[in-house]
Amino acid sequence: MARYDFASDNTAPATPEAMNALVAANSGVTSGYGSDHITKAGADAVRALLDADATVRFVASGTAANAISLATLCLPFEGVLCHEHSHVATDETGAPAFFGHGLGMIPLPGASGRIDPASLLAPLAAPDQPHWQAPAVLSVTNATEYGTVYSVEALKALIDPVKAKGYRVHFDGARLANAAAAGFDLTAIKDLGVDILVVGGTKSGMTPSEAVVIFDPALARRLDARLKQSGQLPSKGRFYAAPFIGMLADGAFVRHAAHANAMARRLAALMPFPLAHPVEANAVFVTMDEPTLKRLHDAGWFVYRFIDGSVRFMCSWATTPEAVDELGHALTSLA
């Protein structure tokens, strides 16, 4: 039987804190469509996490959160500046363009998932003309798809020139908890010029739920209508909000992410294959040829080959030291 312990942080179960909050929410009768007291409490918890006054809504998936956010920020004939291997550009089946009625992606290079600031110069300086989709939005991800973490200063270097042009900023925080556990200050986000932030719930150990945080009040106008049209305004919305209450009440959101990050460092220390990217969050990427990867699969461990050709091992809140050591032994025997 194949083991998916390190295939993705999506394969882990939900945390006790998230499940207990769901059970607690499953009591009594409330109003629907996110107008209930549990959804309000969940939104308040997110605002407290960020130390920000913002509009908060909960949706079912990161793809929905990112696509709806970008559609809110970008007109159909405009483009989104993003890393060439970002989730919005490579792994959402064109959902941003679908929800955005044709908005485009403008992929940018950068080592280990972080956009190279120099790559912004040309698209930001290019004149508007009718034959291409000029940039209107910057999308950044923290932690990145390669498990690296932007500092606040590094994000400012990307965001400041974009805001100087009058453009918008989308922040994909699918693994924001892991970035926070690595030292990224969540309370700094509100002052960076971010217009919409996605706070990842699913990968951090919740049942399917993501928080969409809108810092600009003007963007919140008719937001619920947009969510309804997109199939993301559930009648029993309290069950999307409840896991955030459980995970944010006593710091479990970052505490569990810190454990996942520690397990990644433990695995990196045991890894007999060359690391392809720095290990800064909960991912370990290595250089591994195809025959060796097949032997690893045959030994029962399933992991993915990633976009850049490296092989990815993901740790989660539920990863145990024993599982890491067992995998490390299996990898050593293959090497």
pLDDT band for position 265 (50/70/90)?
very high
The mean predicted confidence, pLDDT, of the chain is 97
Give the span between the Cα atoms of 149 and 307, in whole angstroms. Answer: 18
Q: In the prediction, which pLDDT does 303 show?
A: 98
Q: Domain residue spans in the chain?
A: 16-248, 252-334
Pick the CATH number of 252-334 from 3.40.50.300, 3.90.1150.10, 3.40.630.10, 3.40.630.40: 3.90.1150.10
- Are 16-248 and 252-334 the same fold in CATH? no
pTM: 0.97
Helices (H), 231-288: 238-248, 252-270
> pLDDT tens digits for 284-313?
999 999 999 999 999 999 999 999 999 999
Cα–Cα–Cα angle for 303, 306, 308, rounded to 5 degrees: 150
Q: Residue 19 in contact with residue 242, Cβ under 8 Å? A: no
Q: Residue 310 in contact with residue 276, Cβ under 8 Å? A: yes
> pLDDT tens digits for 111-158?
999 999 999 999 999 999 999 999 999 999 999 999 999 999 999 999
The CB density around residue 236, as the number of other CB atoms within 10 Å, is 15
pLDDT band for position 1 (50/70/90)?
confident
Give the span between the Cα atoms of 69 and 292, in whole angstroms. Answer: 40
Q: Which top CATH class is 16-248?
A: alpha beta
Q: Give me the phi and psi of 173, to 5 degrees please.
A: -110, 45
269, 275, 277, 278: CA torsion to nearest 10: 30
Encode 89-125 in three state secondary structure: HHCCCCHHHHHCCCCEEEEECCHHHCCCHHHHHHHHH
> pLDDT tens digits for 49-64?
999 999 999 999 999 9
Give the span between the Cα atoms of 138 and 159, in whole angstroms. Answer: 7
> Is the link from the previous residue into 281 a cis peptide, with omega within 30 of 0?
no
